[in-house]
Chain A
Amino acid sequence: MAKQTALYPVHASSGAKIVDFGGWDMPLHYGSQIEEHHKVRQGAGMFDVSHMTTVDVTGNEARKFLRYLLANDVAKLFLEGKALYSGMLNDDGGVVDDLIAYFRGPNNYRLVVNASTFEKDMAWLTDKASDFDVALDHRTGYTTLAVQGPTSREAAIRAMSEDCASAATELTPFSSVSCGDWFIARTGYTGEDGFEITVPDSDAEAFWYALIAEGVAPCGLGCRDTLRLEAGMNLYGSDMDETISPLEANMGWTVDLKDEDRDFIGKAAILAQKAAGVQQKLVGLVLEEKGVLRSHQRVIIPGIGEGVITSGSFSPTLKLGIAMARVPAATTETALVEIRKKEVPVKVIKPSFVRNGKQVF
Chain B
Amino acid sequence: MSDIPSELKYSKEHEWVRIDDDGHAIVGITDHAQELLGDMVYVELPEVGTNVAVEDETGVVESVKAASDVYAPVSGEIIEVNEDLVDEPENINSQPYEGGWLYKVELANESDVDELLTADEYADLIADE
Q: Could you tell me which A residues sit within 8 Å of B by CB distance?
A: 29, 32-34, 222, 226, 290-292, 313-314, 319, 340
A33 touches B39 (CB 8 A): yes
B90 touches A34 (CB 8 A): yes
Alpha-carbon separation in the docked complex, A160 to B93 (Å)? 37
B42: Cβ under 8 A from any A Cβ: yes
B62: Cβ under 8 A from any A Cβ: yes
Alpha-carbon separation in the docked complex, A253 to B15 (Å)? 50
- Chain B residues with Cβ below 8 Å from A292 are 41-42, 62, 64, 67
Alpha-carbon separation in the docked complex, A222 to B37 (Å)? 12
Alpha-carbon separation in the docked complex, A222 to B65 (Å)? 9
Closest Cβ neighbor of A339 among chain B residues: B67
- Chain B residues with Cβ below 8 Å from A313 are 64
- Chain A residues with Cβ below 8 Å from B39 are 32-34
- Chain B residues with Cβ below 8 Å from A222 are 38, 64
**Lowest 4 CB-CB distances: which A-B pairs, in order?**
A34-B39, A314-B41, A314-B64, A290-B42
Closest Cβ neighbor of B42 among chain A residues: A290
- Chain A residues with Cβ below 8 Å from B41 are 34, 292, 314, 319
Q: Closest approach, in angstroms, between the C-beta of B71 and any C-beta of chain A?
A: 16
Alpha-carbon separation in the docked complex, A226 to B90 (Å)? 17
Q: A33-B39, A290-B44 are in contact. List 12 more A-B contacts (CB 8 A).
A: A29-B38, A33-B38, A34-B41, A34-B90, A222-B64, A226-B64, A290-B42, A291-B62, A292-B41, A292-B67, A313-B64, A314-B41
Q: Closest approach, in angstroms, between the C-beta of B70 and any C-beta of chain A?
A: 14
Alpha-carbon separation in the docked complex, A29 to B93 (Å)? 14
Closest Cβ neighbor of A340 among chain B residues: B67
Most chain-A Cβ atoms within 10 A of its Cβ — which of B39, B42, B44, B62? Answer: B39
Q: Closest approach, in angstroms, between the C-beta of A287 and any C-beta of chain B?
A: 11
Interface string of B54-97 (1 = CB under 8 A from A): 00000000101001000000000000000000000010010000
Alpha-carbon separation in the docked complex, A11 to B75 (Å)? 45
Can you give 28 A-B contacts (C-beta < 8 A)? A29-B38, A32-B39, A32-B90, A32-B93, A33-B38, A33-B39, A33-B64, A34-B39, A34-B41, A34-B64, A34-B90, A222-B38, A222-B64, A226-B64, A290-B42, A290-B44, A291-B42, A291-B62, A292-B41, A292-B42, A292-B62, A292-B64, A292-B67, A313-B64, A314-B41, A314-B64, A319-B41, A340-B67
Q: Closest approach, in angstroms, between the C-beta of B65 and any C-beta of chain A?
A: 8
Alpha-carbon separation in the docked complex, A198 to B38 (Å)? 31
Closest Cβ neighbor of B60 among chain A residues: A340
Alpha-carbon separation in the docked complex, A292 to B60 (Å)? 12
Alpha-carbon separation in the docked complex, A283 to B64 (Å)? 21
Alpha-carbon separation in the docked complex, A31 to B39 (Å)? 9
- Chain A residues with Cβ below 8 Å from B38 are 29, 33, 222
Q: Closest approach, in angstroms, between the C-beta of A15 and any C-beta of chain B?
A: 12
Alpha-carbon separation in the docked complex, A32 to B62 (Å)? 15
- Chain A residues with Cβ below 8 Å from B90 are 32, 34
Alpha-carbon separation in the docked complex, A290 to B90 (Å)? 15
Alpha-carbon separation in the docked complex, A313 to B62 (Å)? 11
Most chain-A Cβ atoms within 10 A of its Cβ — which of B41, B42, B90, B93? Answer: B41
Alpha-carbon separation in the docked complex, A292 to B38 (Å)? 14
